[in-house]
Amino acid sequence: GESVGLHLPTLSVQEGDNSIINCAYSNSASDYFIWYKQESGKGPQFIIDIRSNMDKRQGQRVTVLLNKTVKHLSLQIAATQPGDSAVYFCAETYNTDKLIFGTGTRLQVFP
């Protein structure tokens, strides 16, 4: 069957390199942003979030950057591993519960 991410933009990186996945969001009033990882056959899984009063937030091997001026969000993954291969979605919200998802990027990690 057709997998998630078949028609999505693809980023190919070598194992060990850093990955940067970009997202343009739509609503200047959005105040909370989330990155999700979706592996084939599974639902999206929370990676990291950031609120609009911040411009950077770091987690374990991941960093999210927010540029409200140009409505741009990025996800940086350090030392990318094969297990990072998945489709990544950004999501925005302006009322806490209802999420609006971006188009998604497929990350392929090769040895």
DSSP annotation string for 32-75:
EEEEEEE-TTS--EEEEEEETT-SEEE-SSEEEEEETTTTEEEE
Nearer to other proteins, 36 or 80 (CB): 36
d(CA 64, CA 53): 13
Q: State the binding string over 47-86 for other proteins (x if CB under 8 A, else -).
A: --x-------------------------------------
Nearer to other proteins, 4 or 65 (CB): 4
Residue from 14, 94, 103, 110 binding other proteins (CB under 8 A): 103
